[in-house]
Chain A
Amino acid sequence: MVAGVVLAGCPTGFRVEPPPLVLLPACSEMDGAAALYIPGTVSGSGAGARMAGDTSRPTVEWLVANPRFVQLMPASLVPEGEEVTLDGTAATTTGILSTDPNVPGNYLPTTAQLQLEAGERTMWARVDVRELCGPNPPRSDLTVWISTRVETTTWSLTP
Protein backbone atom coordinates (compact mmCIF):
# COMPACT_ATOMS: atom_id res chain seq x y z
CA MET A 1 0.00 0.00 0.00
CA VAL A 2 2.70 2.47 0.98
CA ALA A 3 4.89 1.43 -1.97
CA GLY A 4 1.96 2.02 -4.28
CA VAL A 5 1.56 5.56 -3.02
CA VAL A 6 5.26 6.25 -3.54
CA LEU A 7 5.24 4.98 -7.14
CA ALA A 8 2.09 6.84 -8.08
CA GLY A 9 3.32 10.09 -6.59
CA CYS A 10 6.87 9.97 -7.96
CA PRO A 11 6.94 8.68 -11.54
CA THR A 12 10.40 8.27 -13.01
CA GLY A 13 9.64 8.82 -16.69
CA PHE A 14 10.38 6.55 -19.61
CA ARG A 15 13.96 6.70 -20.90
CA VAL A 16 15.85 5.27 -23.83
CA GLU A 17 19.39 4.16 -24.47
CA PRO A 18 20.65 5.58 -27.81
CA PRO A 19 22.59 3.54 -30.34
CA PRO A 20 26.38 3.59 -29.90
CA LEU A 21 28.53 6.20 -31.62
CA VAL A 22 29.51 5.22 -35.15
CA LEU A 23 32.65 6.24 -37.04
CA LEU A 24 31.93 6.87 -40.71
CA PRO A 25 34.28 5.38 -43.30
CA ALA A 26 36.67 7.56 -45.24
CA CYS A 27 35.21 8.97 -48.44
CA SER A 28 37.68 6.90 -50.45
CA GLU A 29 35.96 3.79 -49.09
CA MET A 30 32.52 4.98 -50.22
CA ASP A 31 33.40 5.89 -53.78
CA GLY A 32 30.44 5.32 -56.12
CA ALA A 33 27.83 5.08 -53.39
CA ALA A 34 24.99 7.54 -53.02
CA ALA A 35 24.16 6.78 -49.43
CA LEU A 36 25.37 4.88 -46.40
CA TYR A 37 22.61 3.28 -44.35
CA ILE A 38 23.39 2.73 -40.67
CA PRO A 39 21.05 0.81 -38.38
CA GLY A 40 20.32 2.42 -35.06
CA THR A 41 18.42 0.67 -32.30
CA VAL A 42 17.10 2.38 -29.19
CA SER A 43 15.99 0.40 -26.19
CA GLY A 44 13.69 1.70 -23.51
CA SER A 45 13.32 1.36 -19.79
CA GLY A 46 11.47 2.94 -16.91
CA ALA A 47 7.91 3.85 -16.22
CA GLY A 48 5.71 6.87 -16.28
CA ALA A 49 5.48 7.39 -20.04
CA ARG A 50 1.80 6.57 -20.01
CA MET A 51 -1.08 7.96 -18.10
CA ALA A 52 -3.20 5.62 -15.99
CA GLY A 53 -5.45 3.50 -18.19
CA ASP A 54 -3.45 4.18 -21.33
CA THR A 55 -2.35 0.88 -22.84
CA SER A 56 -0.40 2.36 -25.76
CA ARG A 57 3.31 1.73 -26.08
CA PRO A 58 5.84 4.50 -25.40
CA THR A 59 6.64 6.76 -28.31
CA VAL A 60 10.17 7.77 -29.22
CA GLU A 61 10.99 10.68 -31.51
CA TRP A 62 13.99 10.92 -33.83
CA LEU A 63 15.14 14.25 -35.24
CA VAL A 64 18.26 14.83 -37.32
CA ALA A 65 20.27 17.94 -36.55
CA ASN A 66 21.97 18.09 -39.96
CA PRO A 67 19.29 17.30 -42.57
CA ARG A 68 21.64 18.07 -45.46
CA PHE A 69 23.77 15.10 -44.44
CA VAL A 70 21.46 12.69 -42.62
CA GLN A 71 17.90 11.46 -43.08
CA LEU A 72 15.85 8.69 -41.51
CA MET A 73 14.37 5.61 -43.13
CA PRO A 74 12.15 2.87 -41.71
CA ALA A 75 13.79 -0.41 -40.79
CA SER A 76 11.25 -2.21 -42.96
CA LEU A 77 12.65 -0.57 -46.08
CA VAL A 78 15.81 -2.57 -46.55
CA PRO A 79 18.21 -0.75 -48.88
CA GLU A 80 19.99 -2.57 -51.67
CA GLY A 81 23.75 -2.45 -51.58
CA GLU A 82 26.99 -3.72 -50.20
CA GLU A 83 27.47 -4.46 -46.51
CA VAL A 84 30.23 -2.52 -44.79
CA THR A 85 31.62 -2.86 -41.29
CA LEU A 86 31.64 0.34 -39.25
CA ASP A 87 33.71 1.02 -36.16
CA GLY A 88 32.42 2.82 -33.11
CA THR A 89 31.83 2.42 -29.42
CA ALA A 90 30.06 -0.86 -30.11
CA ALA A 91 32.24 -3.70 -31.35
CA THR A 92 31.09 -3.18 -34.91
CA THR A 93 28.01 -2.07 -36.78
CA THR A 94 27.10 -3.35 -40.21
CA GLY A 95 25.96 -0.64 -42.57
CA ILE A 96 24.93 -0.77 -46.21
CA LEU A 97 26.57 1.26 -48.94
CA SER A 98 23.88 1.84 -51.52
CA THR A 99 23.48 3.47 -54.90
CA ASP A 100 20.02 4.37 -53.64
CA PRO A 101 18.03 3.16 -56.64
CA ASN A 102 14.71 2.98 -54.88
CA VAL A 103 14.08 5.44 -52.09
CA PRO A 104 10.29 5.19 -51.88
CA GLY A 105 8.80 8.26 -53.44
CA ASN A 106 12.16 10.00 -53.11
CA TYR A 107 10.91 10.91 -49.68
CA LEU A 108 13.69 11.55 -47.17
CA PRO A 109 12.27 12.12 -43.67
CA THR A 110 14.21 14.09 -41.13
CA THR A 111 12.00 13.28 -38.18
CA ALA A 112 9.96 10.27 -37.08
CA GLN A 113 7.75 9.44 -34.14
CA LEU A 114 7.42 5.73 -33.53
CA GLN A 115 6.21 3.41 -30.83
CA LEU A 116 8.65 0.98 -29.30
CA GLU A 117 8.03 -2.69 -30.02
CA ALA A 118 9.08 -5.15 -27.31
CA GLY A 119 11.01 -2.36 -25.63
CA GLU A 120 13.12 -1.34 -28.59
CA ARG A 121 13.00 0.06 -32.10
CA THR A 122 15.41 0.15 -35.02
CA MET A 123 15.65 2.62 -37.83
CA TRP A 124 18.09 3.48 -40.59
CA ALA A 125 20.11 6.66 -40.56
CA ARG A 126 20.71 7.49 -44.21
CA VAL A 127 23.97 9.39 -44.63
CA ASP A 128 24.09 11.22 -47.95
CA VAL A 129 27.50 10.25 -49.26
CA ARG A 130 27.44 12.83 -52.05
CA GLU A 131 26.95 15.63 -49.53
CA LEU A 132 29.31 14.11 -46.98
CA CYS A 133 32.08 13.76 -49.52
CA GLY A 134 31.23 16.87 -51.54
CA PRO A 135 32.90 20.27 -51.54
CA ASN A 136 31.22 21.36 -48.28
CA PRO A 137 31.56 18.48 -45.84
CA PRO A 138 30.38 18.69 -42.22
CA ARG A 139 32.71 20.26 -39.67
CA SER A 140 31.21 18.49 -36.69
CA ASP A 141 29.68 15.16 -35.72
CA LEU A 142 26.38 14.34 -37.33
CA THR A 143 23.75 14.24 -34.63
CA VAL A 144 20.48 12.38 -34.38
CA TRP A 145 18.43 13.42 -31.38
CA ILE A 146 16.28 10.75 -29.79
CA SER A 147 13.63 11.98 -27.41
CA THR A 148 11.11 10.55 -25.03
CA ARG A 149 8.60 12.75 -23.26
CA VAL A 150 11.10 13.46 -20.48
CA GLU A 151 14.55 13.70 -22.05
CA THR A 152 16.64 13.85 -25.21
CA THR A 153 19.66 11.66 -25.89
CA THR A 154 22.14 11.92 -28.74
CA TRP A 155 23.29 9.44 -31.36
CA SER A 156 26.52 10.62 -32.96
CA LEU A 157 27.86 9.71 -36.39
CA THR A 158 31.46 10.86 -36.62
CA PRO A 159 32.96 11.70 -40.04
Chain B
Amino acid sequence: MYGQRVSPRRIVPLFALLLVGCTTGLEFEPMMEAWLDAPRCDEPDLVRNSLAPLRARLVNADRAGVRGELVQFSTSPAEFVRVTTQDSVEAVNVPSGTEWDALVDRGEIWAELTGGLEREDLPVELITDGDGAVQAWVGVDLVGICDAGIAFDTATVELTTSNTAAMLRLNYGATP
Protein backbone atom coordinates (compact mmCIF):
# COMPACT_ATOMS: atom_id res chain seq x y z
CA MET B 1 0.00 0.00 0.00
CA TYR B 2 2.62 2.58 1.07
CA GLY B 3 4.62 3.90 -1.86
CA GLN B 4 2.02 2.60 -4.22
CA ARG B 5 1.11 5.02 -6.97
CA VAL B 6 -2.42 6.39 -6.61
CA SER B 7 -4.50 6.38 -9.73
CA PRO B 8 -6.39 9.59 -10.76
CA ARG B 9 -9.67 7.79 -10.12
CA ARG B 10 -8.81 7.49 -6.40
CA ILE B 11 -7.66 11.11 -6.04
CA VAL B 12 -11.00 12.67 -6.95
CA PRO B 13 -12.98 11.40 -3.91
CA LEU B 14 -10.11 12.43 -1.61
CA PHE B 15 -10.32 16.04 -2.85
CA ALA B 16 -14.08 16.00 -2.39
CA LEU B 17 -13.72 14.79 1.19
CA LEU B 18 -11.29 17.60 2.07
CA LEU B 19 -13.51 20.32 0.61
CA VAL B 20 -16.63 19.05 2.34
CA GLY B 21 -14.68 18.99 5.58
CA CYS B 22 -14.18 22.75 5.36
CA THR B 23 -17.84 23.75 4.99
CA THR B 24 -19.78 22.23 7.91
CA GLY B 25 -20.31 23.10 11.58
CA LEU B 26 -19.89 26.84 11.25
CA GLU B 27 -19.25 29.09 14.25
CA PHE B 28 -17.63 32.39 15.07
CA GLU B 29 -14.31 32.40 16.85
CA PRO B 30 -14.58 33.92 20.34
CA MET B 31 -14.92 37.67 20.11
CA MET B 32 -13.39 40.48 22.07
CA GLU B 33 -15.13 41.69 25.23
CA ALA B 34 -14.06 45.06 26.63
CA TRP B 35 -14.43 46.90 29.93
CA LEU B 36 -14.42 50.67 29.60
CA ASP B 37 -15.04 53.81 31.63
CA ALA B 38 -18.69 54.63 32.11
CA PRO B 39 -19.69 57.90 30.44
CA ARG B 40 -19.68 60.73 33.00
CA CYS B 41 -22.97 62.25 32.06
CA ASP B 42 -22.71 64.69 34.96
CA GLU B 43 -19.57 66.14 33.31
CA PRO B 44 -20.73 66.76 29.72
CA ASP B 45 -17.40 68.22 28.63
CA LEU B 46 -15.75 64.87 29.32
CA VAL B 47 -18.19 62.76 27.32
CA ARG B 48 -17.00 61.67 23.89
CA ASN B 49 -18.53 59.15 21.59
CA SER B 50 -16.81 55.79 21.60
CA LEU B 51 -15.36 53.73 18.77
CA ALA B 52 -14.27 50.10 18.89
CA PRO B 53 -13.01 47.66 16.29
CA LEU B 54 -15.21 44.78 15.21
CA ARG B 55 -13.36 41.76 13.92
CA ALA B 56 -15.15 38.46 13.53
CA ARG B 57 -14.06 35.24 11.91
CA LEU B 58 -16.43 32.51 10.82
CA VAL B 59 -14.83 29.08 10.90
CA ASN B 60 -15.86 25.52 10.18
CA ALA B 61 -15.28 22.44 12.31
CA ASP B 62 -11.67 22.31 11.10
CA ARG B 63 -11.16 25.92 12.29
CA ALA B 64 -10.76 27.10 8.72
CA GLY B 65 -12.22 30.43 7.66
CA VAL B 66 -15.42 30.27 5.62
CA ARG B 67 -15.64 32.67 2.72
CA GLY B 68 -18.71 34.30 1.19
CA GLU B 69 -21.14 34.03 4.12
CA LEU B 70 -23.55 36.88 4.79
CA VAL B 71 -23.14 38.31 8.30
CA GLN B 72 -25.92 40.53 9.63
CA PHE B 73 -25.62 42.90 12.58
CA SER B 74 -28.10 43.98 15.22
CA THR B 75 -27.15 46.35 18.00
CA SER B 76 -28.32 47.28 21.48
CA PRO B 77 -29.30 49.89 22.46
CA ALA B 78 -30.09 50.10 18.77
CA GLU B 79 -30.65 53.85 18.68
CA PHE B 80 -27.17 54.55 20.00
CA VAL B 81 -24.93 51.72 18.76
CA ARG B 82 -24.00 51.60 15.09
CA VAL B 83 -21.89 49.30 12.97
CA THR B 84 -19.99 50.98 10.20
CA THR B 85 -17.09 50.66 7.83
CA GLN B 86 -13.86 52.61 7.92
CA ASP B 87 -14.89 55.15 5.30
CA SER B 88 -17.57 56.44 7.66
CA VAL B 89 -15.30 57.09 10.62
CA GLU B 90 -14.80 60.80 11.18
CA ALA B 91 -11.25 62.13 11.63
CA VAL B 92 -10.20 65.55 12.91
CA ASN B 93 -7.67 66.14 10.16
CA VAL B 94 -4.75 64.59 8.34
CA PRO B 95 -1.27 64.88 9.85
CA SER B 96 1.23 66.91 7.92
CA GLY B 97 4.67 68.39 8.43
CA THR B 98 8.18 67.07 8.02
CA GLU B 99 7.89 64.36 10.63
CA TRP B 100 4.54 63.05 9.44
CA ASP B 101 4.94 63.32 5.68
CA ALA B 102 7.57 60.58 5.56
CA LEU B 103 5.26 58.20 7.39
CA VAL B 104 2.23 59.01 5.30
CA ASP B 105 4.29 58.64 2.12
CA ARG B 106 5.06 55.07 3.20
CA GLY B 107 1.36 54.32 3.13
CA GLU B 108 0.81 54.51 6.86
CA ILE B 109 -2.50 55.84 8.12
CA TRP B 110 -2.52 58.03 11.23
CA ALA B 111 -5.63 59.80 12.38
CA GLU B 112 -7.10 61.60 15.32
CA LEU B 113 -10.73 60.52 15.44
CA THR B 114 -13.68 62.48 16.75
CA GLY B 115 -15.57 59.36 17.78
CA GLY B 116 -18.30 60.34 15.37
CA LEU B 117 -19.55 58.80 12.14
CA GLU B 118 -19.93 60.70 8.89
CA ARG B 119 -22.75 58.74 7.28
CA GLU B 120 -26.25 57.80 8.28
CA ASP B 121 -26.76 55.03 5.73
CA LEU B 122 -24.62 52.54 7.54
CA PRO B 123 -24.35 48.88 6.56
CA VAL B 124 -26.19 46.23 8.50
CA GLU B 125 -24.51 43.28 6.82
CA LEU B 126 -21.17 42.25 5.35
CA ILE B 127 -19.80 39.23 3.48
CA THR B 128 -16.95 37.18 4.94
CA ASP B 129 -13.65 37.47 3.09
CA GLY B 130 -11.10 34.82 2.15
CA ASP B 131 -10.14 34.36 5.80
CA GLY B 132 -13.77 33.98 6.83
CA ALA B 133 -13.54 37.40 8.44
CA VAL B 134 -15.45 40.66 8.45
CA GLN B 135 -14.02 44.00 9.51
CA ALA B 136 -16.06 46.92 10.80
CA TRP B 137 -16.18 49.61 13.46
CA VAL B 138 -18.66 50.01 16.27
CA GLY B 139 -19.72 53.54 17.14
CA VAL B 140 -21.40 54.15 20.49
CA ASP B 141 -23.17 57.49 20.81
CA LEU B 142 -22.34 58.19 24.44
CA VAL B 143 -23.28 61.86 24.03
CA GLY B 144 -26.73 60.83 22.87
CA ILE B 145 -27.06 58.30 25.67
CA CYS B 146 -26.26 60.98 28.24
CA ASP B 147 -28.64 63.44 26.61
CA ALA B 148 -31.40 60.85 26.63
CA GLY B 149 -30.73 60.02 30.27
CA ILE B 150 -31.24 56.29 29.76
CA ALA B 151 -29.80 53.62 32.00
CA PHE B 152 -26.79 52.23 30.18
CA ASP B 153 -23.92 49.93 31.01
CA THR B 154 -23.45 47.68 27.98
CA ALA B 155 -23.33 48.08 24.22
CA THR B 156 -23.69 44.93 22.17
CA VAL B 157 -23.49 43.90 18.56
CA GLU B 158 -24.99 40.54 17.64
CA LEU B 159 -23.65 38.91 14.50
CA THR B 160 -25.76 36.31 12.79
CA THR B 161 -25.40 34.09 9.77
CA SER B 162 -27.84 31.48 8.53
CA ASN B 163 -26.06 28.95 10.77
CA THR B 164 -24.72 30.63 13.88
CA ALA B 165 -24.47 33.80 15.96
CA ALA B 166 -22.01 35.61 18.21
CA MET B 167 -21.93 38.73 20.39
CA LEU B 168 -19.48 41.60 20.74
CA ARG B 169 -19.90 43.19 24.16
CA LEU B 170 -18.57 46.54 25.37
CA ASN B 171 -19.05 46.97 29.13
CA TYR B 172 -19.07 50.52 30.43
CA GLY B 173 -18.34 51.05 34.10
CA ALA B 174 -17.74 47.41 34.91
CA THR B 175 -14.59 45.42 35.55
CA PRO B 176 -13.79 41.91 34.34
Q: Mark A57-79, 1 if CB is under 8 A from B, else 0.
A: 00001010111100110101100
* Distance of A145 Cα from B38 Cα, bound (Å): 18
Residues of chain B within 8 A of A109, CB atoms compared: 95, 110-112
Cβ A112 vs Cβ B110 within 8 A: yes
Check A140/B175 contact, CB under 8 A, given A112-B109, A151-B55: yes
Cβ B133 vs Cβ A13 within 8 A: yes
Q: Does B130 contact A (CB under 8 A)?
A: yes
Cβ A63 vs Cβ B131 within 8 A: no
Cβ B32 vs Cβ A154 within 8 A: yes
Question: In the assembled complex, how far is the CB of residue A135 from the closest CB belonging to chain B, in whole angstroms?
Answer: 9
Q: Is the interface of A mostly helix, strand, loop or mixed?
A: loop
Cβ B55 vs Cβ A149 within 8 A: yes
Q: Mark B8-43, 1 if CB is under 8 A from A, else 0.
A: 000000110011001000000100101111101001
Q: Does B63 contact A (CB under 8 A)?
A: yes
Q: Does A41 contact B (CB under 8 A)?
A: no
Interface size on A, residues (CB 8 A): 48
Check A11/B107 contact, CB under 8 A, given A65-B34, A105-B97: no
Q: Does A90 contact B (CB under 8 A)?
A: no
Closest chain A residue, CB of each to CB of B100: A104
Interface set of A (CB-CB < 8 Å, partner B): 2, 5-6, 9-13, 48-49, 51, 61, 63, 65-68, 71-72, 74, 76-77, 104-105, 107-115, 136, 138-141, 143, 145, 147-154
Interface set of B (CB-CB < 8 Å, partner A): 14-15, 18-19, 22, 29, 32, 34-38, 40, 43, 46, 48, 50-55, 57, 60, 62-65, 93, 95-100, 102-103, 107-113, 115, 129-133, 135, 173, 175
Which 4 pairs between the two chains have the least Cβ-Cβ distance?
A10-B64, A104-B99, A113-B109, A109-B110
- List 27 A–B pairs whose Cβ atoms lie within 8 Å, in order of A's numbering: A5-B15, A6-B18, A10-B60, A10-B65, A12-B64, A13-B65, A13-B131, A49-B131, A63-B51, A63-B53, A66-B36, A67-B115, A68-B48, A104-B98, A105-B97, A105-B100, A107-B97, A107-B112, A111-B109, A114-B108, A140-B175, A145-B53, A150-B29, A150-B131, A150-B133, A152-B53, A152-B55
